[in-house]
Amino acid sequence: MTTRNEELFQRAQQHIPAGVNSPVRAFRAVGGAPPFFERAAGAYLWDADGKRYLDYLGSWGPMVLGHTHPAVVEAVQAAASKALSFGAPTEAEIELAEAICRLVPSIEMVRLVSSGTEATMTAIRLARGYTGRSLIVKFEGCYHGHADSLLVKAGSGALTFGNPSSAGVPAETAAHTLVLDFNDSEQVKKTFSARGSDIACVIVEPVAGNMNLVLPAAGFLETLREQCTKHGAVLIFDEVMTGFRVAQGGAQARYGITPDLTTLGKVIGGGLPVGAVGGKREIMQKIAPLGPVYQAGTLSGNPVAVAAGLATLKLVEEKDFQAKIEATTQALIQGLIAEAQKAKVVFSAQSIGSMFGLYFRAAPPASFAEVMQCDKDRFNKFFHAMLDKGVYLAPSAYEAGFVSAAHGGAEIDSTLAAARAAFKA
Ligand code: HOZ
């Protein structure tokens, strides 16, 4: 019998390419019809057939408090009852900017946008405008949204479908993007000694989360900082994923590295579309209308989205928030490793803050090449076995997972029970 999910998926494909708009387009890689969701609360989601799922994706990162947190819903309702959009400043935007600058110390000024892609695109333009140089450096498997110059050997959905460099990006544009190997400090040094005076910026996910989860090797982020400073290039940390997840002040706080610019998204919108680019005052003052680097957006600083972000950050700022969510994530990872060992499955896992990676490989990967060695078919099998049991993981072997503050001991126990069976599938 056709389920309601399947019916909706058939219908969606008539007028929406592949039937999807969101990153769940990745579902095509694991096969089958994606669940169409109707509601969510705390750590759980319900699909169109009324099936409940324990959620480890959190809308691809933003839902750090869990779904429909009462404080966030109340803030959104209050803001929506006053206005949906002004395209003019509000006091709440100042409060959100103040909160971001307080929580992420390298950010002296911040401009709100509506997505992570807008944030990274703006950061690159700012770096080029500030330095007067064209070349940008990124790392294979890192994903920084879908702006042309960044869709070169990218991670996330692009990698999931085996098209890490998108069609439609002119070769002339891609030629300005140098792609290096994540965690290869020597290659970074060599590149800077050859082309240092042409490099406008280095953009990096300080903890890579779009080729599964890859932690920075000892000294890698330090090398980026040192080389950018030495050669007058701008260091951009893309913390769209890691912001308020890897630590309250992001990966930069956890690893003690100060970037020149930071891009944010996901958590700062609490589930509504907000992105941000921020950093050194000297660079941020180049942005229009203060400076010559143009940036725009009709809905930037939207009052409803800002209200959701502010309500979320207020709770994220509470003492022990990060420690508790990190402990839950560690319990999940240790439990999964133990279950895989019992089932004699070649598997490893790791976490940092409330982000985690699962790998069908003996040890966590430290490079893009090692990520490629993970057993993708085994992942797809595990994914579907977990989904059947009501556990919703990222539908791609190349995405990090997320735990929320609404996950607790009961959720970890039921996940491990599901995994016990799924490792045998
Ligand atoms: N950054 C998100 C996943 N890590 C979204 C990417 C996408 O839309 O494919």
List, for residues 395-405, the tens digit of each pLDDT value: 999 999 999 99
44 included as an active-site residue: no
CB of 242 closer than 6 A to ligand 1? no
Cis amide prior to 206 (ω within 30 degrees): no
Domain-ending residue, one of 316, 343, 359: 316
CB of 23 closer than 6 A to ligand 1? yes
How many distinct structural domains can be found in the chain? 2
30: containing domain? 4-68+319-422
310, 276: one domain: yes
pLDDT reported for residue 22: 84
Of 53, 143, 255, 398, the active-site residue reads 143
Give pLDDT < 50 ranges for the chain. Answer: none
CA 295-300-302 angle, 5° bins:
170
CB of 399 closer than 6 A to ligand 1? yes
pLDDT reported for residue 106: 98
Quote the distance between the C-alpha of residue 16 and its chain's center.
24
pLDDT reported for residue 303: 98
232, 337: one domain: no
CB of 210 closer than 6 A to ligand 1? yes
270, 357: one domain: no
Point out the ligand 1 atom lying closest to the alpha carbon of residue 240. 1
184, 300: one domain: yes
Domain-ending residue, one of 270, 293, 316: 316
- Ligand 1 test: best mutation among 20, 24, 143, 150, most atoms within 8 Å of CB? 143
Question: Considering Cα of 217, then 219, then 222, then 227, what sign does the dihedral take?
Answer: negative
> Which amino acid is present at 368?
F
pLDDT reported for residue 29: 85
143 included as an active-site residue: yes
Report the C-alpha gap between 203 and 224 in whole angstroms: 10
pLDDT reported for residue 361: 97
